[in-house]
Amino acid sequence: MQFRHDPVYASRRSPVLAENVVATSQPLATQAGLSILRQGGNAVDAAIATAATLTIVEPSGNGLGSDAFCILWDGEQLHGLNASGRAPSAWAPERFPQGMPQIGVNSVTVPGAVSAWIALSERFGKLDLATVLAPAIGYAEDGFLVSPVIAKLWANAAETLGDQPGFAETFLPDGRAPRAGERFCNPGAARTLRAIAQTGGKAFYEGEIAEEIASFLQANGGTMTREDLSAHRADWCGTVSQSFGDGELHEIPPNGQGIAALMALGILEHTAIRDHGPDDLAAIHLQIEAIKLAYRDLHAYVADRDHMIEIDEAALLAPEYLKSRAALINSAAAIDHGMGAPTRGGTVLLNTADASGMMVSLIQSNYAGFGSGVVVPGFGISLQNRGAGFNTTPGHPNCVGGGKRPFHTIIPGFVTQQGAPLMAFGMMGGPIQAQGHVQLYLRTQLWDQDVQTAADAPRWRMLAGLEVACEPTLSSEVIEGLRALGHVVTVETPDNAFGFGGAQLVHRLPDGGYAAGSDPRKDGQAAGF
């Protein structure tokens, strides 16, 4: 039997309608979340179980050394959690004369995903961590059958990361990446997950595991210390929002790129986009132009919120400022506003919702696929390369510094309507996430598409300058129309490597329950009961 990571024929999925739902990029993780809901857990418990399972069954996008963000509706109000890690205290611009490393021990910041699970469980969970982490522990210890998309990404990573400390020992059994349909076990990760459950995460940041992480990085030329790990905290940060029509899009405040989606929506409020359909040339042109303007400001100003001194999110979202930015759009021609979108991605995004009304959007990521490529042996901890998100430009708010959070690409999304929860959603894939949020918001809220149709729809992404990448499913008339307007269009065959993202969406229904959708570009699944 031949397993393909690319579809042979066009397919159609229907949205899943149920009282309790989980949508993720890997079916085993979806089922893990559902199993926790059936055991009496709530949507937060299901989200933690799903997130932990994804570190095992989708290591090509995240791991135990990832960062995470979350937006959740607890049944009464909205909360935002920033669990991204900070730079080791020894980091400074002069340490990186060649710029920030993209892989290796000196690209690793303090991993925050585990702290997200602990913070969520302590504040909102119903079940104990041992129960919630049990599905992930089982897949780590007993193994799982590798799915096709992940097998392809795994093989790609083996070529570039195979010589990084600990990578081959953990992720290349028999000297190669596992193929689709083969079983893979990660007993070290099972050991780590058990310690997390037993100590409420303390082992990871203060105990034996923290010692192993710091010692291994230092032994290979890194600077992270146990003190760097023990100083980490996840922050309840709330959300920032932008209204468009009857809805409000919510994002995590900087250091993430979610503010770019808010800016683009605010700019589009002052255009004629409502006069056009979802797949019309004019609508796509206006979105691309708005995204360009948002990304220009994103790269100039967005960083760790504590270091955005001169220009903060309030200034970037000021109505008059967004109106002035909209005035720069030419409806008849593409304009090069400079800058571009982030270029790397390796992320998982999940949504859960339960019959009580709790809804969760959680995202966690290694940044570039397997991240730094560095894996703590015996513990199965693949460490992210989020340090690559810094720059070394003196005076820039995102200039690297000890104890500072880097600019982040990963963003969960949430939509409310008149203060009530409406949709938990998001899109994995660094280069497209903020612009993907705009596309999904408009398709579901302006053009009234259901969540699965919005996930299935052809996508585009702005690259840099006048360059735009489009999926081949976008009509040839639109592609040629974009070129006629001055866009430099590349038609890319989807490679399932995050270029056009992987969307997951859960939308509340008027009569109760939810509609859930999962992106066909991934191995994923939306399911419920």
Mutual orientation of helices 187-199 and 208-219 as an angle, nearest 10°? 130
Question: Which residue's entry shows tokens 């602990």?
Answer: 118
Nearest Cα to Cα of residue 70 among 381, 306, 359: 359
In eight-state DSSP terms, residue 172 is -
Of residues 50, 131, 225, 347, which has the active-site annotation?
347
Amino acid at 126: K
d(CA 514, CA 360) in angstroms, rounded, equals 12
DSSP SS3 for 18: strand
Give the per-residue SS3 of 194-246.
HHHHHHCCHHHHCCHHHHHHHHHHHHCCCCCCHHHHHCCCCEECCCEEEEECC
Buried b (16+ CB within 10 A) or exposed e, 314-345: eebbeeebbeebbeebeeeebeebebbbbebb
Rounded to the nearest 5 degrees, what angle is found at the Cα of 506, between the Cα atoms of 134 and 366?
55
Which residues fall within 8 angstroms of residue 379, CB to CB, at 6 or more apart? 64, 188, 189, 191, 192, 209, 212, 213
- Token pair for 408: 């982040």
Query: What end-to-end distance do the CA atoms of the chain give, in Å?
Result: 32
**DSSP-derived secondary structure for 452-512:** HHHHHS--EEE-BTTEEEE-TTS-HHHHHHHHHTT-EEEE----SSSTT-EEEEEEE-TTS
Neighbours of 392 (CB within 10 A): 17
Amino acid at 212: E
347 among known catalytic residues? yes
Amino acid at 340: G
Q: How many helices (H) and strands (E) does the chain have?
A: 18, 21
d(CA 394, CA 374) in angstroms, rounded, equals 28
In eight-state DSSP terms, residue 443 is I
Mutual orientation of helices 258-268 and 433-441 as an angle, nearest 10°? 40
Catalytic residues: 347
